[in-house]
Every structure is written in C-alpha cells, then in structure tokens.
Amino acid sequence: MDLEDLEPARKASWRGKRSAPSGPCGSGRYVRAEKLEEGTALAGLAVDATLRAAALRRASEGGAGEPEIPFAPRREDLRRKLRAGAASTLVVFAVDASDSMGAERRMAAAKGAALALLAAAYRKRYRVALVAFRDRRARVLLPPVASCELVRQRLRRLSTGGATPLADGLVRSWRLIRTERLKRPRLRALLVLLSDGEANVPLDPGMDCLAEACALGRRIRREAVRSVLIDIRPQASASAQLLKLAAALGGSYHHPRTLGSAAVVEAVLSQEGP
C-alpha cells in the first residue's frame, strides 16, 4: 500500500500531565479488558473477563461437563482492565543493524543506549516495541509489549550485516504506531532511532536516501509522533545526515556519551510536544 493512501491517524497531544497507565492506577471508566502480557505485573485484574476466558478455554478443552475437575483460571486466562480516558505511551526503538554498525563497536554503543532508555521506559510503565533495519528492509522484531525483558533479550541477540534501509525502518515504525493508534486513539508515541546515519537503500530505486528519509520524517512529525535520534558513530562531530533527519522529524539529537546521566534519559522520555 502506498503511504499516500493511508488515512491520517488521530493525533495525540503531548501537552499536559504524564500519561496514566491502564489498570488500577489509571483513571476513567472500565470499558473493556485485554490479555495480561507475559512478564506484566498482576495489577488491575478484570475478574469478570478472566473468568469468562477460563470458562471458554475449559469448554474448548472438553472439561465443561466434568464437575470433578476443579475450575481454576490459568496464567493465559488472566485479563486486565482498560479504562476510558486513560492515555498510554508507546516507545518504538528503531535500531540500525546494517554492516556499518559492526564497525568500531557501534552496535555495542547502540545496545547500551537502548538499554539505558529502556530502563527509564520501564520505570514509567511505557509499552515498548523493537524494529530493526538491515539488508533491504526493516522487520518488527517485537510488537508492543509491557515486558522490557523481552526487548532486552531481542537486543542482545541482534547481529549486524548488509545495507542500511533507513527509510524502510522509518516506515515500519510509523505503520506500527498507526496500527496501535487504531486500538488506542489517545496513544502517545515516541520513536527512538539508533543509527550511524549511513543510509544507502531507498524505498524507490534512484531516490536520494537522505531526501526520502527526511520527507518521511516530516510526515511522521505531522502525526504527533515525538522522536529522538541517537548518533552511534564514535566521532565527536555530529552526523550531518542525522541532524537533517532530526530537523525533519522535529526531534532531538543525542550521542551515547550524553546518555550517562539519568537526568538526560528521563528528559528524553518525558518530552513535551510543541
């Protein structure tokens, strides 16, 4: 599907108070339930939905007519409450896994920066997703989850190789956010791009890679997606390509050396929109 044909997603404002998580700590009326993800703390349990899920599961297993078998919900039956009016935040990590990231310990720097940001996201109870781009395309390695441990595991196993399809990394991340906003219209989204900026695979053959990425960046910005760009190159000077992309996205530019301070990490994930 061509990007021009995609309907604009409903915009989410970053003004005002920090988002409240769904569940017992959130505000608003209980409107529906969702499955409790693996690794998520048992909070805001929806007892009614949990019992229904357990009954349906037991019936499918042929146990509905066997009263001697104790009826007890299992871990996969657990459901949590979702409340109307409670905004949530999604952080999408888009990681460059191309061949150039294997030089000068760039991937190690990328993983270190991502893990630092991931720790801050966990403290704020943000949901996280992981996209990696290499060779000719990008892949969603992990859809949005509340378990930061799953993201850590995928990051540790991430290897490098091939070309740098930066534009496709942006598109995959953008589409993932759009899909989540269909389910959660008030979703706040933060895109964290970790790359050396050496894009060399355009979406359309013959296009200038940087110009194409910046055009995508401007469209992503219009949909109220906040962004942070982490320059993984070891050089002290900033990447001209990433600075231009940051300007197109309306995001902030950082280098891993600036992420040693917890205050900087907190500031990155607490950005307010214009």
pLDDT tens column, 43-65: 678 888 889 999 888 888 765 55
Q: How many residues does the chain have?
A: 274
Assess whether pLDDT exceeds 60 at residue 8: no
Q: What is the CATH number of the domain that holds 123?
A: 3.40.50.410
Residue 249: domain span: 87-269
Q: For the whole prediction, is pTM greater than 0.75?
A: no
Tokens of 39: 């690794």
**Same domain, yes or no: 98 and 78:** no
pLDDT tens column, 60-86: 876 555 555 567 888 888 888 876 655
**Same domain, yes or no: 59 and 169:** no
> Whole-angstrom Cα distance, residue 191 to residue 227?
5
pLDDT tens column, 112-155: 878 878 887 887 788 899 999 988 889 999 898 888 888 888 88
Domain count, the chain: 2
Q: Give residue 209's pLDDT.
A: 93
Q: Cβ distance 230 to 255 under 8 Å?
A: yes
105 phi/psi in degrees, rounded to 5: 60, 30
- Which residues are registered as beta bridge partners of 35? 79
Q: Give residue 115's pLDDT.
A: 82
Mean pLDDT along residues 254-268: 60
Average pLDDT, the chain: 78
Q: Give residue 131's pLDDT.
A: 94
**Residue 168 within a domain:** yes
* Among 178, 172, 153, 165, CA closest to 9: 178
